[in-house]
Amino acid sequence: MPAPIIQSPDIDEVAVLRAMFEARKRVFIDLLKWDLPVLADRYEIDHFDNPDAQYLVLTDTEVRHRASTRLLPTDRPHILADLFPHLCAGPVPTGEHVREITRFCLDRDLKADERRAARNQLVTALVDHALANDIRSYTGVADRQWFEKIRTLGWQCEALGQPLRYGSQELVALHIHIDAKTPIGLQRAGIHMPLQFRLSAPRHGRRA
C-alpha cells in the first residue's frame, strides 16, 4: 500500500495555496468564464475552501503551480450534494470513505506534453492518496466532454445519472471506485506516472 503523502518540510504551504488559488482564477474564471467569487482580483476562492478541504498540489522547485485539485469530505457540505443532487439518479454517494474531487486544475502556462505529464502525475497521486487513507471512492461533477476523458484514464468510473444541461454545458455526476487494482489499471492505460513535480497536501484554514 502506498505511504501517506508527506510533503517536504521546506515547502511553504501558504505560498503553495496562493499559487493554486491564483492558477484556479486564471483557468476557471479567465479562461472558462465560470461565474465564481474572486478575492483581491487575483484568487479564486469559494465557501468550500474551508478547513475541511484538503488539496493535492503539484509545484516546481520555485513553488510555481503545475496542477492541483481540491478534496472535500462528503459527510459535510460539498458541491454534488448541495448544488447538483439532481444529477444523480439515486442517492448521492457520501460517507467517511468517499471524497469529492473538485477544481481539478492544470496550469495554463504548461505546454501540451507538460500538461499531460502533470495530469497523469495528479491522477496517480489521487489514487495513491486514496489507498493510503482508506478512501474507497471519489465523486465529482464534470462537463460531458471532460467526463468522457476521465473514464478512459484506467480507473473504474461511472456516471451517477444522465447528463443534464446547465447553462451552456451538459453536466455529469461521476463516481470513481478505488481499490488495490486501480494502479494496475492506470498503468495499462498509460496514465500511471511517478512524481516529477513536488507534491504537497495543505489545508486552507483561514490563510490565503
Cβ neighbourhood burial of 132 (10 Å; 0-12, 13-18, 19+): middle
Q: Which pLDDT score is estimated for 8?
A: 52
**CA–CA dist 175, 155 (Å, integer):** 10
Q: Are 55 and 70 in contact (CB under 8 A)?
A: yes
Q: Which pLDDT score is estimated for 10?
A: 60
**CA–CA dist 191, 58 (Å, integer):** 16
Task: Annotate 3-20 with DSSP letters as a single string.
Answer: PPP---TT--HHHHHHHH
Q: Which three cell numbers stand for residue 199?
A: 507534491
Helix (H, G, I), strand (E, B) or coil at 86: helix
Q: Which three cell numbers stand for residue 35?
A: 461565474
Strands 137-143 and 156-159: unpaired
Secondary element (H or E) of residue 72: strand 65-73
Q: Where are the domains of the chain?
A: 13-200
**CA–CA dist 43, 56 (Å, integer):** 17
Q: Which fold has domain 13-200?
A: Aminopeptidase (3.40.630)
Query: Cα dihedral sign for 37, 39, 44, 46?
Result: negative
What is the full per-residue pLDDT of the chain (208 aa) written as tens digits?
444 444 555 678 889 999 999 999 999 999 999 999 999 999 999 999 999 999 999 999 889 999 999 999 999 999 999 999 999 999 999 999 999 999 999 999 999 999 999 999 999 999 999 999 999 999 999 999 999 999 999 999 999 999 999 888 899 999 999 999 999 999 999 999 988 888 988 776 644 4
Say whether pTM exceeds 0.75: yes
DSSP lists the bridge partners of residue 69 as 56
Query: Of 79, 78, 106, 70, nearest to 202 (Cα)?
Result: 70
Q: Which pLDDT score is estimated for 193?
A: 94
